[in-house]
Amino acid sequence: MVVVSSFPYAINWTGENVPAILHVSQSSQELGNAVADVIFGRVSPSGRLVQTWITSIDQLPPILDYNIRNGRTYMYDKNEPLFPFGHGLTYTSFSYSDLKLSRKSVQANDIVEITFNVSNTGNYDSDEVAQLYVSFPDSKEERPIKELKGFSRVMVRKGESERVTIYLKANDLMYWDDIKHRWTLEPGRVSFFVGSSSVDKRLEGEITVRGRR
C-alpha cells in the first residue's frame, strides 16, 4: 500500500493486514519515479516519520487545547502509537553496540560525545538514522517523557559497521523557568537511549548534570 499524505492516518487494519506500507509526501513530478525506485529495490528506503501516527482519534486532546503537555506529540502522549515518531523500515536490518561516552557528567556549555557502532546485519546497503532521546527522572518540573536531542544519518554497507557519534550539548538540556525568566540547567540525572525511533531502545545510558558553574 502506498500512502501519499502530509498528515498521519489511523490505518489500523492496514497495519495489521498489509505486509508493506510506503508513506510518501507530495513530491511533485518526481513522486512516481521515487516510489518506483523504492518498490523495485533501486534504493533502500531510509525516511523517518516526523509525526506520531495514533491508533484512534480519541487519543487526541481537544482541538482548541494548545498546551502540548496535555498529551500532544511523542514527548507527552502516553498512548501506544500505531507508528511512533522517528519510525521507518528499510530493506535491511541494523544492530547497535559498544556505547561509549566522552564524559559522564556535565555543566553548562559542556558537550558529551555519545559514540557507538551501527552494523548492517542484512543483505542490502542502506542508510540508518540513529536517534538520541533523553528524559529527566530527577526533575522537579514537568519535563517531556522523552525528547529527541540529536540524530545521525549514516550509510552502512551490508556486512559492515560504522562508528557513529552524536553530540549532546548540556545547554540543550535546559528548560525555560517561568519564575526566574531564564533558561535553567537543572542538576540531576539525565537518562538517554539511542535507537531507530522514539520507542526503539537499542543502547541506554545516563549522565549527571552538576548545575551552573
Where in the sequence is the domain holding 170, given as residue range(s)?
94-209
Single-letter residue type at 93: S
pLDDT band at 42 (very low <50, low <70, confident <90, very high): very high
Same domain flag for 36 and 71: yes
For residue 198, is it within any domain?
A: yes
For residue 204, is it within any domain?
A: yes
Convert the pLDDT of each residue in 102-156 to its tens digit.
999 999 999 999 999 999 999 999 999 999 999 999 999 999 999 999 999 999 9
Single-letter residue type at 27: S
Cβ 141 vs Cβ 173: under 8 Å = no
Same domain flag for 101 and 43: no
Beta strands in the chain (DSSP E): 2-4, 22-24, 94-101, 105-106, 111-120, 126-135, 147-156, 161-169, 175-177, 182-184, 188-195, 203-209
For residue 101, is it within any domain?
A: yes
Nearest to 173 by CA among 192, 160, 201: 192
Nearest to 154 by CA among 124, 123, 118: 118
Place of cell 525516511: 47
Convert the pLDDT of each residue in 144-202 to its tens digit.
999 999 999 999 999 999 999 999 999 999 999 999 999 999 999 999 999 999 999 99
For residue 88, is it within any domain?
A: no
Q: Which three cell numbers, joined as nine digits, stand for 130?
A: 540513529
Nearest to 94 by CA among 154, 146, 150, 42: 154
User: Average pLDDT of the chain?
Assistant: 94
Query: Which pLDDT does position 212 carry in this prediction?
Result: 57
Strand bridging mode 105-106 / 203-209? parallel
pTM of the model: 0.94
Instruction: Give the number of domains in the chain.
Output: 2
